[in-house]
Amino acid sequence: MKILYVFAHPEERSLNGSLREVAFAELRAQGHEILVSDLYAMGWKSQVDRQDFPQWPADKRLLVPAASKAGFASAALTADVEAEIAKLRAADGIILHFPLWWFSMPAILKGWVDRVFAYGYGYGVGEHSDARWGDRYGEGMFQDKRAMLVVTAGGWAPHYSARGINGPIDDLLFPIQHGVLFYPGAQVLPPYVLYQADRIDEARFASEAERLRARMRGFLTEAPIPYRRQNGGDYSIPGCELQPWLGGPDASGFALHSADASPVAARLSAVAG
Ligand code: FAD
């Protein structure tokens, strides 16, 4: 399997850098080929701007989706973006590895997504009509790919629990896991999250490294998060609202979009019972 490993930390000798080497060694031991995008080392440009669309007329008001669509369709995006698209096309798996910064990914990684997931590739795929709202959320260009986040966070695990002050980690990562990865169709594995990352000694590093190795060993076989597919009957079209019989009319929140969300499952079994 070819795995695109996108790494977003400015320091090779960081904790994240060490964990990356652990992951690489285990993935290679499993026979996977790794394609690397080390964003800081590459000097990745993170902002979308007019320079990204060389074919777009200089005097024309820039319309980013239209420029992205035209550039992607004619393979005329900038060389750095075209190279990342080529890696993504070749990859069967994607790993995004980053420290949690302000409850999200570092700007350089967001900028990689903004620039590389072009119109016609990351979004704007498939038929859009009253019967179908595109190939997205479970369908799309990534639908045969597995994906996973590797994340370190300074906060403690309970701070990210269901009642933790930071909000549940699954909610914080939802825009990346569901929005960035499942949207173009990837099967998203549960994340590897290392908490209290700023205080880690050799013993904990060793146990965390082992936990990461185990996750890398399971990359091919582990069950993905059972996010509901947009075109699988759980949503109205074109409104794209969860069907009223799923979770009950008053239920809301990100967890509803996963088929095994325990509050939803509990409500469903209550209804069924
Ligand atoms: P490093 O600083 O490189 O290392 C951390 C520790 O690991 C050090 O004690 C180091 O000695 C040890 N270590 C490194 N390598 C090894 C090794 N090979 N063996 C043993 N020990 C090792 N946290 C949150 O929870 N939520 C946030 O929203 C958040 N926002 C942030 C925003 C910014 C701008 C910044 C800078 C930090 C933020 N943090 C936040 C904290 C951040 O998530 C952590 O600082 C980060 O995850 C630590 O990873 P690192 O690779 O940078 O660690």
CATH number reported for the structural domain that contains residue 70 in this entry = 3.40.50.360
Does the residue 231 lie in any domain? no
**Contact 231 CB / ligand 1 (< 6 Å):** no
Does the residue 261 lie in any domain? no
259 close to 227: Cβ distance less than 8 angstroms = yes
Can you tell me which atom of ligand 1 is nearest the CA of 199?
9
Give the pair of three-digit tokens for residue 123.
Answer: 């979004």
**Contact 218 CB / ligand 1 (< 6 Å):** no
**pLDDT surpasses 60 at 262:** no
Does the residue 38 lie in any domain? yes
Q: Atom 16, ligand 1: which residue's CA is nearest?
A: 15
Q: How far apart are CA 176 and CA 169, in angstroms?
A: 11
Does the residue 259 lie in any domain? no
Number of domains forming the structure of the chain: 1
* Parent domain of 83: 2-225
Mutate to test the pocket of ligand 1, among 13, 14, 211 (most ligand atoms within 8 A of CB): 14
Q: Is 210 helix (H, G, I), strand (E, B) or coil?
A: helix
Does the residue 60 lie in any domain? yes
C-alpha 60 to ligand 1 mean position (Å): 44
Does the residue 262 lie in any domain? no
- pLDDT tens column, 109-138: 999 999 999 999 999 999 888 778 999 999
Q: What is the pTM of this model?
A: 0.95
Exposed, middle or buried: residue 219 (CB in 10 Å: 0-12, 13-18, 19+)?
buried
pLDDT band at 162 (very low <50, low <70, confident <90, very high): very high
